[in-house]
Amino acid sequence: MTQKQQLLTAWSFQEPDRVPIEMFLYPSAECLPGADAIRAFQEQEATNFLGAHLFDWGFMGLDTRYTEEVIEDVPGDYQRMRRVHATPAGDFTAITKHAYEDLFGEGDKGDFHWEKRFIETLDDFRRIAEAPRARRPFDLKAYNAGCAQIGERGVPITGLFHPLGTLVRNSNMSEAYMWLLTEDEIVEKFLFRCTEQICDSVLAVNGEHLDDPPVFKTGALEMLIPPWFGMAHFDKLVFPYDKRVNDAIHAVGGRHFAHCHGNSGLFLERFADMGIDAVDPLEPPPYGDNILGDAKQRVGRRMLLCGNIPSQLFSLESTTMKEIRELVKQAIEDGAPGGGFTLRTTGSAYVGNGKTNAQKIKSIQCGLAMIEAWREFGKSAGHD
């Protein structure tokens, strides 16, 4: 089977010839020992979801002209940056602080501190909620070109605007969660208008020629479960709106893949009920509450389950390759029978990430141990 066939077979709840395994090399680890082997595996054997651009969701569903500039530079220490989204509802400005170690050293360029988020005040939120909304533009040519480039190396995946998840990530978070509890009129207007916009946008691709059915991915639900939301607030503010969006996605032959860190275990049935088709990374204790065997029993024929190998262990000096082997063995035993499972780390399927080069090298070593264990345990019995 090709990499794509393995992944789609598992997602059809059948067993492919090998358990699908997702893996990427972290960009800042490109030149470190072992990186070449991980990169080759990523291209030739890993069964990855790979990005293909379809929709332009703008900023919070609005057209935007984005600019950024360095407003303070302390050489060897930090830079501060102003970021601006200029939209029909006005400008939204954020300030971020970046350590020199991350910008120019061993650190992660994507790691920074928010000094000010784009949506800071209730007036900012009101402007977003009341702004006129229309269908978002999509680019069939870019999507089909992306699908062609991916070929049989994996399954195309594209981004989906999630109103609540995007709101809290772009807002002063303590204020945003308070708005969701106290500002019913604004919240309802925001959710209703955004949901209408998303559904209209998704349904507009019906009848268009897409080389692969769209798989939409969100990273929102981890912000809408404990400790942020309990079940009652989830059922009020998430479920009915997400269910409408997922129904629209299914109407055009698409699927919704939800990225959700943390304590998602008790919510898995709710995810499936509202139409989620796949979920990752299924973090086990103590990082989350997901017991893979239990998740497989409850929702393993309704959603593709992805992950369960804790990436937190990959950069720890004390982690042994035997530990990695046993984790992979157990995950395959619990998740792979009958399909519906992909093996991956809980850190967005990346290996080679860490704050220092030593941590990145250890992560690569653990990734190689994971591959070795997958080769040992990942072949399906019916394909000997």
232 alpha-carbon distance from chain centroid: 24
Angle at 161 between CA 52 and CA 285, to 5 degrees: 90
Token pair of 146 as six digits: 């992306």
The whole-angstrom separation of Cα 139 and Cα 55 is 6
Q: What is the three-class DSSP state of 14?
A: coil
| 153 contacts 3 by C-beta, under 8 angstroms | yes
The whole-angstrom separation of Cα 206 and Cα 200 is 10
| 294 contacts 305 by C-beta, under 8 angstroms | no
- What predicted TM-score, i.e. pTM, was given to this entire model? 0.94
Bridge partner list, 306: 342
For 129, residues 6+ apart whose C-beta sits below 8 A from its C-beta are 186, 187, 189, 190, 193
Q: Which amino acid is at 271?
A: F
- For CA atoms 23, 260, 223, 53, the dihedral sign is positive
List the pLDDT tens digit at each of the 384 positions of the chain: 999 999 999 999 999 999 999 999 999 899 999 999 999 999 999 999 999 999 999 999 999 999 999 999 999 999 999 999 999 999 999 999 999 988 888 877 788 999 999 999 999 999 999 999 999 999 999 999 999 999 999 999 999 999 999 999 999 999 999 999 999 999 999 999 999 999 999 999 998 999 999 999 999 999 999 999 999 999 999 999 999 999 999 999 999 999 999 999 999 999 999 999 999 999 999 999 999 999 999 999 999 999 999 999 998 999 999 999 999 999 999 999 999 999 999 988 999 998 899 999 999 999 999 999 999 999 875 555
**Pairing, β 78-87 against β 65-74:** antiparallel
Bridge partner list, 49: 155
